[in-house]
Structure 1
Amino acid sequence: MKVFVEEQRFKNWVLIILMITPIVGVLIPILTSKEGFPAFNTPKFWSLVMVSFSVVLVFLLILSIKLSTKINEQGVFYRFYPNQCKEKFIPWSRIQQCHVTKYNSLRKFGGYGYRRCFWGKNKGLALNVGGKYGIQLVLENGKKILIGTQNENDAKRVLETYQSKINSNG
């Protein structure tokens, strides 16, 4: 029995820079002004606190995002936290096709994250946090799900093991 297990998070340094930039953009003008850091009881101080707090909250939310994937003899399990609190399960009997594919997330789905696409050939669901490879599932009802992976070779090996279960559905 072969099992593929992967857990991914957003770890892009560009993302970190984008999150820190607004805080720095607010702090530098305040710290370099002649007035210095605003006094505790001024509206300027509380505006600074609110902007910084909001950016930190968004940053923490993005860092909490986690894509979990598991493939075993039963089927494919996936969870995109915090969008999905419960793990989703697709048994092999519901899968018509399953393979690892290379894709461009920005062109195909408009970026990373939990993406629903309602137009063209890309119709379906994409779950990804980075990279350019994904596990493409085509279900018996024609619905497509793409689950991003950073370990495309391991995913291919495990999918080859269960290919007979997939082919028996088609």
Structure 2
Amino acid sequence: MNAFTESQRFHQWWIWTLLVAALLITTVPLLLTDAGKEPFAWGGPIVTLLVILLIYVWRLDTKIDEQGIHYQVFPVFTWRTIPWTSIQSATVTHYGWVGYGIRLGFDGWVYNIAGSKGLRITKKGNTIITIGTQRPDELQAFLISQQSLITT
């Protein structure tokens, strides 16, 4: 069996523009005035740099194979696996914009880096998890080719 794998990062230009602007807004005044001599004044730029570092390393990984659907949000949590035996359905869906990162929505957990399409997994017991994808057509084709793995 082949496996479907996808790794996503934040590549949106506007996110990086906002982060750089925030860094400039918090740093430039400290460099141009005497306020920069106060140690606590550098808290804003330090926090901004930590947020930039977090967004830079943040990654959503998905792997689908014969064992199940595996996903991780690095550096928040390591690999989690949903075995095929506990999956009622898995479909590619358009869910509209729900924000980025990890969200608990009306339909369960959503893990999203960009876009508005994702793999909607309904587990037995009706728990729903949605994992964003930037390759919905490839994912849909893979799920169709592996339909026998989902046991209902």
* Bigger radius of gyration: 1
SS in structure 2 at match of 1:131: coil
Q: Does structure 2 conserve the Cα–Cα contact (< 8 Å) formed by 1:83 and 1:114?
A: no
Aligned: 1:38 with 2:34: yes
Q: CA deviation at 1:154?
A: 1.3
Q: CA deviation at 1:50?
A: 2.3
In the other structure, the counterpart of 2:134 is 150
Q: CA deviation at 1:53?
A: 1.3
In the other structure, the counterpart of 1:115 is 103
Q: Normalization by structure 1: what TM-score?
A: 0.80
RMSD: 1.9
Aligned: 1:78 with 2:62: no
Give distance in 1, aligned partners of 2:127 and 2:35: 57
Give distance in 2, aligned partners of 1:2 and 1:161: 10
Q: Does structure 1 conserve the Cα–Cα contact (< 8 Å) formed by 2:110 and 2:130?
A: yes
Structure 1 segments unaligned to the other structure (5+ residues): none
2:55 to 55, 62, 67: 62
Give distance in 1, aligned partners of 2:35 and 2:30: 11
Q: Does structure 2 conserve the Cα–Cα contact (< 8 Å) formed by 1:96 and 1:138?
A: yes
Q: Normalization by structure 2: what TM-score?
A: 0.89
Q: Does structure 1 conserve the Cα–Cα contact (< 8 Å) formed by 2:27 and 2:45?
A: no
